[in-house]
């Protein structure tokens, strides 16, 4: 249970026969957020000939695209195809075209829009998001050392640590590893840990993404 998205805004530019194609990508959670991003880019590029876009969001499992006046299938579809091949979701890509005076033909347009989208994705920070549980507890310093030792075995992310008379820890563990990790914590603490568990959360596990 995971998905890939982008951390923040990114941009890539491609030039084909004097036409400039500016690809811009942003994280979005809803179709409304995606369209707000599209309108923002359009307002910033009022003199552009086209603002082609595509977006994919998990909410409602929605994907949409627009050729924005380009010949059918030469703009939005190639951009959406690049997003899907990259395995990204909760993203919106807008490719703005400033016309250079030379017609590119269908193949040239597909190539240019695809390339601009690919360059924007290449410039982005990719997040590997996994459904996870948050574990909150305090432990003594002796047990803290034992816990830290086993964290890599369960691909655990340390969200925070508070060092006082005891050590307050907030940890994130992937849902599929949570039960085994809690059992291990119970074993090494002889059942002394009082663990608050918050389920159904999502977090970036890029460090461990290749192990999934």
Q: Where are the domains of the chain?
A: 2-124, 129-211
Note the pTM of the prediction, 2 decimals.
0.82
Nearest to 52, CA basis, from 125, 117, 120: 117
pLDDT in tens, 27-84: 999 999 999 999 999 999 999 999 999 999 999 999 999 999 999 999 999 999 999 9
Are 2-124 and 129-211 the same fold in CATH?
no
pLDDT in tens, 76-133: 999 999 999 999 999 999 999 999 887 888 999 999 999 999 999 999 999 999 999 9
Burial code (b: 16+ CB inside 10 Å, e: under 16) for 79-108 equals bbbbbeebebbbbbbbbbbeeeeeebeeee
CATH topology for 2-124 is Ribosomal Protein S5; domain 2 (3.30.230)
Where does residue 189 rank: exposed (0-12), middle (13-18), buried (19+ CB within 10 A)?
Answer: middle
152 membership: H or E segment, kind and range: none
Measured distance CA(45)–CA(42) in Å, rounded: 5
DSSP labels, 19-85: EEEEEEEEE-SSHHHHHHHHHHHHHHTTT-SEEEEEEEETTTTEEEEE-TTSSTTSSHHHHHHHHHH
Q: What is the topology classification, in CATH, of domain 129-211? A: Alpha-Beta Plaits (3.30.70)
Query: Both tokens of residue 33?
Result: 């957020």
Cα separation, 29 vs 41, in Å, equals: 17
Tokens of 118: 């690919």
């Amino acid at each position: 249970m995971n998905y890939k998205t982008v951390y923040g805004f990114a941009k890539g530019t491609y030039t084909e026969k004097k036409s400039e194609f500016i690809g811009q990508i942003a994280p979005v959670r809803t179709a409304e957020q995606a369209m707000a991003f599209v309108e923002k880019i359009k307002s910033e590029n009022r003199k552009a000939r086209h603002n082609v876009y595509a977006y994919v969001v998990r909410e409602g499992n929605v994907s949409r695209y627009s050729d924005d006046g380009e010949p059918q299938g030469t703009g939005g579809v190639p951009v959406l195809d690049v997003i899907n091949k990259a395995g990204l979701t909760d993203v919106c890509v807008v490719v703005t075209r400033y016309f250079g005076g030379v017609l590119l033909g269908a193949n040239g347009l597909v190539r240019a829009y695809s390339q601009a989208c690919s360059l924007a994705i290449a410039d982005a920070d990719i997040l590997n998001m996994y459904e996870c549980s948050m574990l909150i507890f305090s432990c003594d310093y002796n047990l803290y050392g034992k816990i830290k030792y086993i964290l890599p075995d369960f691909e655990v992310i340390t969200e925070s640590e508070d060092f006082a008379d005891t050590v307050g820890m907030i940890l994130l563990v992937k849902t599929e590893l949570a039960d085994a990790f809690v059992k291990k914590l119970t074993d090494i603490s002889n059942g002394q840990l009082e663990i608050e568990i918050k389920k159904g959360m999502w977090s970036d596990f890029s460090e461990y993404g290749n192990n999934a």
